[in-house]
């Protein structure tokens, strides 16, 4: 059995706050917006905290020991990234490129599971421009109130954000973000903020953003489904071309089999026990780890919620795609 327990890389942001401390993370300031909790990306690499590989970072292990992850091309980068985001203020209105458009190893298709939200919290998701030409005109003329589409959100909501989607988290949202391992972001609009450190506005990339934004916006169609696994309610939140996401609501002893090359686990609430091959891990909110395929059968017990994600296998892509990705 191989479990890679990971420590997050924390990022300070103009829009960040202090809620990430509720996950047990030691914050360096009062404006920490991101915890890159499972990451091998150069801009924020997670460290392995326990076991044989303790002290190594995830990127190093992925590169040096590809056989642990099922075998991969030496030049291939780790494909997924999990973050927890604390939006004390609005994020910038932004868009991400797809695989072909990105200058990185991957594009940036992502998803949000809403961990918490203030009563008036909302997302910016999609836009009201009917064509690319109309989108450009409305951006050039700063018609943000007519262009921006907002959606009220609450704890437990889930959103799929394919590359090319015009979007932003609104103030008061705490979210788990599962995405491709990319940091390519093009900003349309930053609410005319001035950075307190630089005394300057953050740069915008309007031309690049326009070039990759889909118009008109079309909402993805998600074919979510739920089943019981012993004393766990298992909800398939998403099967997309890039990744699949499950939510495990554990209510008592439940048995599972890890049959993918590797799976990402984010414990988002409760207290749980994971047991495999006679070894026991005590899990709490804020714990994040990768379970490798050699784990095989394992048991979860206790009360809590876990988000599990993995690269979508080819068989799923052929049979179970539950998205509209135009």
The alpha carbon of residue 50 and the mean position of all alpha carbons in its chain are separated, in whole angstroms, by 23
Q: DSSP labels for 53-109? A: TTT-BHHHHHHH-GGGGT---TTPPP-EEEEEEEESSPPPEEE---TTT-SSSS---
With beta carbons less than 8 A apart as the criterion, state whether 222 and 160 touch. yes
User: In Å, how far are 94, 123, 188, 309 from 205, measured between CA atoms?
Assistant: 9, 21, 6, 31
With beta carbons less than 8 A apart as the criterion, state whether 276 and 255 touch. no
> Of 111, 38, 48, nearest to 78 (Cα)?
38
Report how far residue 313's alpha carbon sits from residue 199's, in angstroms, rounded to the nearest whole number.
47
Q: What are phi and psi of 31, to 5 degrees?
A: -140, 55
Q: Of the residues 65, 187, 227, 317, which is catalytic?
A: 187
Element holding 168 (H helix, E strand):
strand 167-169
Active-site residue, 317 included: no
Catalytic residues: 187
């Amino acid at each position: 059995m191989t479990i890679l327990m990971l420590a997050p890389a924390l990022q300070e942001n103009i829009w960040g706050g202090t809620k990430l401390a509720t996950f047990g993370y030691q914050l360096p300031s009062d404006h920490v917006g991101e915890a890159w909790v499972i990451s091998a990306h150069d801009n924020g690499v997670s460290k392995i905290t326990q076991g044989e590989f303790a002290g190594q970072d995830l990127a190093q292990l992925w590169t040096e020991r590809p056989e642990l992850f099922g075998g991969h091309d030496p030049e291939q980068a780790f494909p997924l990234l999990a973050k927890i985001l604390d939006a004390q203020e609005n994020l910038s209105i932004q868009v991400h490129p797809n695989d072909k458009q990105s200058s990185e190893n991957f594009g940036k298709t992502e998803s949000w599971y809403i961990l918490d939200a203030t009563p008036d919290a909302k997302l910016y998701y999609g836009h009201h421009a009917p064509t690319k030409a109309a989108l450009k005109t409305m951006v050039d003329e700063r018609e943000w109130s007519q262009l921006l589409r907002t959606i009220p959100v609450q704890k437990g909501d889930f959103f799929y954000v394919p590359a090319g989607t015009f979007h932003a988290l609104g103030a008061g949202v705490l979210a788990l973000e599962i995405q491709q391992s990319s940091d390519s972001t093009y900003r349309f609009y930053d609410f005319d903020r001035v950075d307190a450190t630089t005394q300057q506005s953050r740069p915008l990339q309007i031309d690049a953003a326009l070039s990759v934004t889909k118009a008109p916006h079309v909402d993805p169609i998600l074919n979510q489904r739920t089943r019981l696994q012993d004393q766990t309610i298992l909800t398939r939140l998403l099967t997309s071309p890039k990744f699949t996401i499950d939510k495990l609501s554990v209510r008592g002893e439940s048995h599972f089999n890890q049959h993918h090359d590797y799976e990402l686990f984010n414990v988002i609430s409760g207290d749980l026990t994971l047991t495999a091959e006679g070894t026991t891990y005590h899990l709490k909110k804020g714990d994040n780890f990768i379970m490798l395929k050699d784990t095989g059968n394992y048991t979860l017990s206790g009360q809590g919620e876990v988000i599990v994600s993995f690269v979508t296998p080819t068989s799923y892509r052929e049979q179970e795609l539950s998205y509209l990705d135009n």
